[in-house]
Structure 1
Amino acid sequence: MDLALDRPGDFLFVRRVAARSITVMDREITQSFLLAPDQAVEGWPVNDAKALTTLQVDDILALKPELVILGTGERQVFPPAEFMAGFLRKGVGIEVMDNGAAARTYDLLAGEGRRVVVAFILPA
């Protein structure tokens, strides 16, 4: 049997999710960050989904998503309603998931050519 390396495409993809880190392609990231198919924004200053405000909405919308995925760590934690409403007012969908589910969903949608942005929250 022949084995071949199959990369998902010409976009930044998540290779691995751990409790305290996420590997994007071949780079392990240990602080919260934003990921779009064409760029990663490291050092996103968020450590708790319940502390999200409309200020962070602007950080994410600057990447011009058609859909936002919020990865809240090892468990799904819903952020405050005003954070969620910030996206809905702009006509941008948002889904909240644990980091593993967020990574899988992001890879699938980015692989389809969608303009998806995932915001990963990692512990400090």
Structure 2
Amino acid sequence: MKLHPANFSHQYIFTGYGDGYVVINQIRYEKNLIVLPDQLIENWPIISISELEIQHFENLLPHALEIIILGTGISHQFPNYSLLSQVAKMGVGIEIMDTRACCRTYNILVEEGRRVGAVLFI
């Protein structure tokens, strides 16, 4: 699917996605990554949801995010509950959805001027 942004300037946004990839500012990515409005963290080494630990989210604290969207790949999967509880205690909201929904939601939140981070499993 190809997405068309409304009014984004100098920000990372999703311009498309499909099975096994996302497109950010017209560049295709096929490996797990983290997308912030002003920064990409490519080739994120975490392979599965079960590998996630609190330090992976603590590393995002310097970016002053309001919300983290976790895109879990093709299907909607939840990390363990204690991890979600720990993230909530950091004062950052977290939402879990499949990666395609994550791309769409991220673009909407960025357009609203929100400080959002998308943590993606491709």
SS in 1 for 2:60: helix
SS in 1 for 2:64: coil
Q: Distance in 1 between matches of 2:59 and 2:16?
A: 24
The residue number in structure 2 matching 1:12 is 12
Which structure 2 residues correspond to residues 88-99 of structure 1 after superposition, within 5 A?
A: 88-99=88-99
Q: CA 1:6–1:65 in structure 2 vs 1: closer, same or farther (change >3 Å)?
A: closer
Q: Distance in 2 between matches of 1:50 and 1:102?
A: 19
The residue number in structure 1 matching 2:25 is 25
The runs of 5 or more residues in structure 1 that have no matched partner are: none
SS in 2 for 1:91: coil
The residue number in structure 1 matching 2:71 is 71
The residue number in structure 2 matching 1:80 is 80
Q: Distance in 1 between matches of 2:21 and 2:5?
A: 23
SS in 1 for 2:109: helix
How many residues align? The count is 118
Offset at 1:51? 2.0
Q: Distance in 2 between matches of 1:6 and 1:51?
A: 33
Offset at 1:6? 6.2
Deviating above 4 A after TM superposition, structure 1's stretches of 4 or more consecutive aligned residues are none
Q: TM-score, normalised by structure 2?
A: 0.88
Give the fraction of aligned pairs with identical amino acids, expressed as a percent: 28
Q: TM-score, normalised by structure 1?
A: 0.87
Offset at 1:113? 0.6
Larger Rg: 1
Q: CA 1:62–1:18 in structure 2 vs 1: closer, same or farther (change >3 Å)?
A: farther
1:109 aligned to 2:88? Answer: no
Structure 1 vs Structure 2 CA RMSD: 1.6
The runs of 5 or more residues in structure 2 that have no matched partner are: none
Q: CA 1:17–1:6 in structure 2 vs 1: closer, same or farther (change >3 Å)?
A: closer
1:41 aligned to 2:62? Answer: no
